[in-house]
Amino acid sequence: MEHGHAEFTLLIPFLVFIVLATPAIMLLLVRRARRSGSWNNNGSSYDGYTDGGEAEPPEPDGFRYDLLRLPLIKRMMKHRAFQFALQLPNALIFLLVIVAGIWGTTLGDKNFATVVTWLVWWAVIIFTFLFLSRTWCMVCPLVSIAEWIQRGRLWKVGNRLFTLNRKWPRRLRNFWVPTVFFIILTWMFLNIGLAENPLYTALVSIILFIAPAIVISMVFQRRTFCRYVCPIGGVIGAYSMTAPLEIRNRSDAVCRSCKEKACYRGNEKGYGCPMFMMPQTMETNTYCTMCTECIKTCPNDNIALNVRPFMSDLWKTRKLGIDVAMIVVIMLGITVFQTLSMLEPWTDMSDAMIDATGLSEHVVLTLSYLALGVLAPILIFAGWSLITKYLGGRKVRFRNVFIGFSFAFLPIALSSHMAHNLVHFLEEGPPAAVPVISDPLGWGWNLFGTANLLLDPLLTADPLHILQMSLITIGYVGAVYAGWRVARETFGNNLKAVAGLAPMLVLMVVFAGLNLYLLNLPMSMREHGH
């Protein structure tokens, strides 16, 4: 079966499930709250938003297991060469991407740069956010090179830094720059065929990533690039909030009495947090790149590497600003639009718009992308937040409803994005990746004897299709639960929370249903996206 082929027989049961599951899940959650005796209290509220203030983090809820209790893991994390050992192979692969992109064949499916970057790395990396938080950032070759230059060392600690050590402008200390870059990056997939073009792939890697990473690290402090500029940093930061892994302090009391604050300032054992964070006040995974420096530097052995329940951060967002929330909302729209732009109905709609307006295909695609993929989800979500604020009946600020509930939609955005990427990895990835390992530049080499191997996809279209639909459905169920937790935090633990949540549940059904529906439409012969 061709991917995206009409299988409406499957769509109906999935749609019926998400509609019927919603009241059932709500009933279970309300009953559980009643039994626990927490029903009818006012709970906490977002009125205490601090946006990065120094408030103490709330007590973690749910299971935690500190992996640093295992001596082998602790020894690895404390070893200074640990991060470097993971960065080095990635850096070499990245250099090969640049070389192959510039000097290799122009055929996208035969070039190491396009195949490894878009069919393997880009397709798989999203799964690491769900399971391993921002661990990718710890091993990221793009900034590793910049960091080695800035520190003048590969892994040892030194006092001399090769940077002007300037502070990033206050107005830009947020995710707005990464969001704009991400919108541009996605536009390149849609409009200039970035994923199929080796030269563009190399140029984007240089111009959007490695060059700014090096320049910024030589002018500004620490990993300013990762925190405030990286085009995928915002998306990684948001998605990683769902991961069952976190780095946090063990005891607030120990941190309060700690004068040294080596986790932030650094000491002879390691560098101060490259992401400008203090584990003492860290509530979410958003900015922590899991670099393990604080595990090395803390003189009080007060850092834990916890395994925890999935999605634990999604209702602890009082310190996050509208910039992070906006990324989640935009991702909902971009994922839908990217899928839409690869379908047959879109080709018909686009042709009709071109005929009616006389504009070129690229202009129509760009305007539609900005209108439907970026602007529409923001306006829809803002309208829905207003209704939610009104129905919740508490004096909660609109801004706080918008921010709080946006994170409840994160599981839908993430699962839809993963469903989209599964095709690239499970269907297209291995058959293309194994040959290019032997012939990375498409010059007719056969280094490892795999250049002419014809591999089957890891999964055929039918089970892949069911897997995609199941992923979106699981994301939906996660969103309903996260929405329930956000509603209780926002409106209190009572009927007002249910009333406030109700319109958001409708919107969740719409977004999840739309993603399921689009997966069942036939693919266009004129594909743009990736």
Element holding 414 (H helix, E strand): helix 410-422
CA dist., res. 512 & res. 509, Å (int): 5
Q: Cβ 33 to ligand SF4, closest distance in Å? A: 33
CA dist., res. 215 & res. 384, Å (int): 42
Tokens coding 441: 């530049």
> Applying CB under 6 A, which part among 276-284, 425-433, 490-498, 505-513 lies near ligand SF4?
276-284
Pairing of strands 270-271, 266-267: antiparallel
Nearer to ligand SF4, 302 or 515 (CB): 302
Residue entry with tokens 């306006």: 379
* Secondary structure (3-state) at 41: strand
CA distances from 506 to 152, 381, 409, 434 (A): 54, 12, 12, 44
Angle, in degrees to the nearest 10, between helices 461-491 and 398-408 = 150
Nearer to ligand SF4, 24 or 253 (CB): 253
| Backbone torsion region of residue 63, taken as left when φ is above 0, otherwise alpha when ψ lies between -120 and 50, otherwise beta | beta
Q: Cβ 85 to ligand SF4, closest distance in Å? A: 17
Q: Cβ 41 to ligand SF4, closest distance in Å? A: 32
Q: Cβ 262 to ligand SF4, closest distance in Å? A: 4
Residue entry with tokens 């990718």: 136
Exactly one of 44, 90, 300, 347 binds ligand SF4 (CB under 6 A); which one? 300
Tokens coding 260: 């040294």
CA dist., res. 307 & res. 466, Å (int): 29
Residues that contact ligand SF4, how many (by CB under 6 A): 26
> Applying CB under 6 A, which part among 28-36, 288-296, 309-317, 385-393 lies near ligand SF4?
288-296
User: Quick check: 288 binds ligand SF4 (CB under 6 A)?
Assistant: yes
**Cβ-contact 241, 284 below 8 angstroms:** yes
Backbone φ and ψ for 57, nearest 5 degrees, come out as: -70, 150
Q: Cβ 251 to ligand SF4, closest distance in Å? A: 8
Exactly one of 204, 277, 401, 418 binds ligand SF4 (CB under 6 A); which one? 277
In the range 209-268, which residues lie near ligand SF4 by CB under 6 A?
247, 249, 254-255, 258, 260-263
Nearer to ligand SF4, 293 or 489 (CB): 293
Q: Cβ 272 to ligand SF4, closest distance in Å? A: 8
> Applying CB under 6 A, which part among 13-21, 210-218, 287-295, 343-351 lies near ligand SF4?
287-295
Nearer to ligand SF4, 201 or 284 (CB): 284
CA dist., res. 4 & res. 343, Å (int): 8
> Applying CB under 6 A, which part among 214-222, 284-292, 391-399, 432-440 lies near ligand SF4?
284-292
Tokens coding 363: 């202009």
Exactly one of 116, 139, 146, 294 binds ligand SF4 (CB under 6 A); which one? 294
User: Quick check: 298 binds ligand SF4 (CB under 6 A)?
Assistant: yes
Nearer to ligand SF4, 265 or 526 (CB): 265
CA dist., res. 102 & res. 105, Å (int): 9
CA dist., res. 322 & res. 221, Å (int): 24
CA dist., res. 224 & res. 231, Å (int): 13
Exactly one of 119, 204, 238, 303 binds ligand SF4 (CB under 6 A); which one? 303
In the range 391-410, which residues lie near ligand SF4 by CB under 6 A?
none
**Cβ-contact 343, 4 below 8 angstroms:** yes
Nearer to ligand SF4, 213 or 294 (CB): 294
Exactly one of 273, 422, 482, 519 binds ligand SF4 (CB under 6 A); which one? 273
Tokens coding 228: 């405030």
User: Quick check: 290 binds ligand SF4 (CB under 6 A)?
Assistant: yes
**CA proximity to 402, closest of 478, 322, 342, 339:** 322
> Applying CB under 6 A, which part among 158-166, 296-304, 372-380, 433-441 lies near ligand SF4?
296-304
In the range 155-184, which residues lie near ligand SF4 by CB under 6 A?
none
Query: Where does this chain bind ligand SF4 (CB under 6 A)?
Result: 247, 249, 254-255, 258, 260-263, 273-275, 277, 279-280, 288-294, 298, 300, 302-303
